[in-house]
Amino acid sequence: MMIESVKGFLKSEFGTNLDKATEQEVYYALSKTVMSQIADQWRKTKEAQSTQKQAVYLSAEFLMGRALGNNLMNLKLYKDIEAELSELKFSLNALEEREEDAGLGNGGLGRLAACFLDSAATLDLPLNGYGIRYDYGIFKQYFKDGFQKETADHWLKNGDPWSIRRENEAQIVRFSDGDIKAVPYDTPIVGYDTSTVNTLRLWKAEPLEPFDFELFNDQEYDEAVEKKNRAEDISRVLYPNDSEEKGKILRLKQQYFFVSASLQELVAKFKKTHGKHFDKFPEVYAVQLNDTHPVVAIPELMRILIDEENLSFKRAWEISRKTFAYTNHTILQEALEKWWVGFYKELLPRIYELIEKIDKQFVAELKHAGYEKAQIEAMRIIKDNMIHMAYLAIYGTHATNGVAALHTEILKDQELKEWYALYPQRFQNKTNGITQRRWLKLANRELSDMITELLGNSNWAKELSDLRKLEDYKSDEAVLNRFLAIKKAKKIELAEYIKEVEGIEIDPNSIFDIQIKRLHEYKRQLLNAFQILNLYFDLKENPKLDIVPRTFIFGAKAAPGYFRAKGIIKFINEIARKVNNDPDVNAKLKVVFVSNYRVSYAEKLFPAADLSEQISTAGKEASGTGNMKFMLNGTPTIGTLDGANVEIVEEAGLENNYIFGLKVEEIEAIKESYDPVAVLESNPRLKQIVETLIDGTFDDGGTGMFKDLYDALLEGATWHTADNYFVLQDFDSYVAAQKQVDADYRDRLAWAQKCWMNICGAGKFSSDRTIKEYANDIWHINRIDV
């Protein structure tokens, strides 16, 4: 049936047939066939949800990854289509590889949003996403002489069969320098084993007029399309470089653009059903602000209600506050978004007026509550000519949540303690989660099939807590050996892919020690690099040293303007060059920095990992979700007691993971007196390692990158103290933990049991559980049977 539809699309779209079609054409035709199959359920879902309260997820990022395999799996058609295609001499896996990742995110924030949408659809909950349809994703990464280089991520170059343009539902977004048309593109979010198909609506920025015909006729060609280009810039690239003023203004335009378009649509839909009874608006829509990027939604909804619907400021404020909730994703003060008031005054003068009024109202409330002047100044939304978006978010919403138990406690006790003291009832914890459908059922089909067999009639793909029942097999040698065989097979698959893509051979019999995440100093890829050098020097001193061969795999992108992060990438690639080309050590050590880390690459890396590196400085990682994906695939964690690591070891057992380093309270106790120079002087090996940054061992091409890393560790900078992330302090503890890994890995069944217990404990970390908590505690939405 579906293959007949594929043939029809091949004929209508490409004028060809199955015998002559390319893989790209078959991929496209199969995707369009799936779209046609779900069209009726998609329409019915929208109709069913239109009469019930809905949740709206506003996010600057949605890191969706590939859609074909995930949708076929959720429709429970994957194996059937795979078999049908095989008979026709096509590989479904090869067709999946033809799909470009929709790289509309930079890391955990965007991937979390994608997992949430999957979970809500699977749970039949009315949650729809709103964001920006970027023409180009974050960027495609490649390495030249070990340096990160960026090129455009043109994910739409072969078209997008998974979205539908809704020209008739376009909105007009008004800036002081001109109006922009926001055109929505809808992508279906297919729930697993259910009839619900939710929607991700992404807005594309376009000019009101495509070009100036008169100027074109006058042969002023550049001027004729200038307005078009400036309009389209808004949705051209995810996170454009904002090191200069033009970049900052563009980012602000992006934030307001998708927020304004989304809220205008919600208000218009509300009015069709409820007229002007706007006090009911929070009973119809619950809007979640995913971090601070969409926080301008608070004054924007008020602008619409006050200026266009003639409500009073007070009434608009109460409606807005009851509608919105805010998720905080960071503990880092420097990452709490702030905007210079001049940008708002220039670009969004009316929005700035409203933020001023909100700030004045807040000050009056604090005075009435007996706060002293100094306390008020510290908490003001506008201070020092900056708008503090996190403060606006907490004041302007009815709920603020952290994303891991430790993260939420740090927010309450340290970073936002004044706010918690003021609004204790507004603070909640919602520990992040991941969708087990993509990250186990699709990415690791062999392990998924084994779990299904062992659990019998369990629907663990929808009830991940059932994994706890696998503890019955924790001492079953046949089960553990079968698990080890699956892990070995996934390692071989990854090794073959790395050989094909990176041109590097790695040994599947070695320990695959993997750190994959955004490149940031607090995530401490540098600490990992130092440990690799420690092993390297050990082997150079004693080539016969008995260690289990180890392959260190990194995957990470550094923001284009983040000089130090790029320096860490270059440093790791220099280590790789030295280690991989040294015959004294390369039989026991290999280092690979995979290029262009993304969702589809991650789906190959997580199942193949032997060790999960989660080594951020304690108290800096809000949650982490990569740690959960490793755990779900049976990989022990080596990490600090940070973010969700705390809950991971609670669920899987401390004895089945490798915890090292300073705890949050220990860092607090020593940070004022901490002397990294003294640490270095007392540790000759560590000093030898750190000195490689400046002694000529490695070459940074004259960029000064390595000297900058050295200075950051020992001298600090204007914006941070020396060794701000305690890399040197935690080094010895990390090395000891890594030695324990080496010792434990040798006992294969005991190691397999550690891996198995991580799988057993992964049930808590389903995004299904997280979404249920949001639905019950914050959004107050109910399941809708479509």
Q: Return the active site residues.
A: 329, 517-518, 523, 625, 629
In the DSSP assignment, the letter for residue 720 is B
Distance of CA 87 to the CA centre of its chain: 38
The token duo for 269 is 């839909």
CA distances from 86 to 17, 83, 95, 183, 455 (A): 16, 5, 11, 39, 29
**Rounded Cα distance, 241 and 513, in Å:** 32
Distance CA 332, CA 618 (A): 12
Task: Give the relative orientation of helices 563-580 and 525-541 as an angle to the nearest 10 degrees.
Answer: 20
DSSP secondary structure code for residue 762 in this structure: G
Q: What is the CA 121 to chain-centroid distance, rounded?
A: 19
From CA 106, how far away is CA 134, in angstroms rounded?
13
Residue located via tokens 């040197």: 728
At residue 595, what are phi and psi to the nearest 5 degrees? -90, 145
Residues 6+ apart with CB under 8 A from 276: 309
CA separation, residue 96 to residues 68, 69, 138, 201, 600 (Å): 6, 6, 21, 23, 10
Instruction: Quickly tell me which residue has 């890399």 as its tokens.
Output: 727
Question: Rounded to an integer, what distance in angstroms lies between the CA atom of residue 554 and that of residue 617?
Answer: 18
What is d(CA 195, CA 46) in angstroms, rounded to the nearest whole number? Answer: 12
Burial of 632 (0-12, 13-18, 19+ CB in 10 A): buried
- Say how far apart CA 231 and CA 688 lie, in whole Å: 53
Token pair belonging to 83 = 């078999």
Q: Return the SS3 of 448.
A: helix
Taking 3-state DSSP, the helix, strand and coil percentages for the chain, each rounded to the nearest 5, stand at 55, 15, 30
Which of 497, 617, 487, 605 has its CA nearest to residue 553?
Answer: 605
**CB neighbourhood size of 374 (10 A):** 8
Q: Which two tokens stand for residue 90?
A: 């096509």
Quote the CA–CA distance of 98 and 25 in Å, as a whole number: 9
Q: Which amino acid is at 70?
A: N
Q: Which residues of 503-515 are buried (b: 16+ CB within 10 A; e: fewer)?
A: ebebbbebbbbbb
Token pair 């220099």 is found at: 574
DSSP-derived 3-state class of residue 184: strand
Residue 309: count other Cβ atoms within 10 Å of its Cβ. 14
Q: What is the dihedral of CA 103, 107, 108, 109, to 10 degrees?
A: -70
Ordered DSSP codes for 213-235: HHHHHTT-HHHHTHHHHHHHHTT
Do 591 and 552 touch, CB atoms closer than 8 A?
yes
Check if the beta carbon of residue 206 is closer than 8 Å to that of residue 181: yes
- List 187's β-bridge partners, or say none: 200
* Residue 321 CB coordination number (10 Å): 18
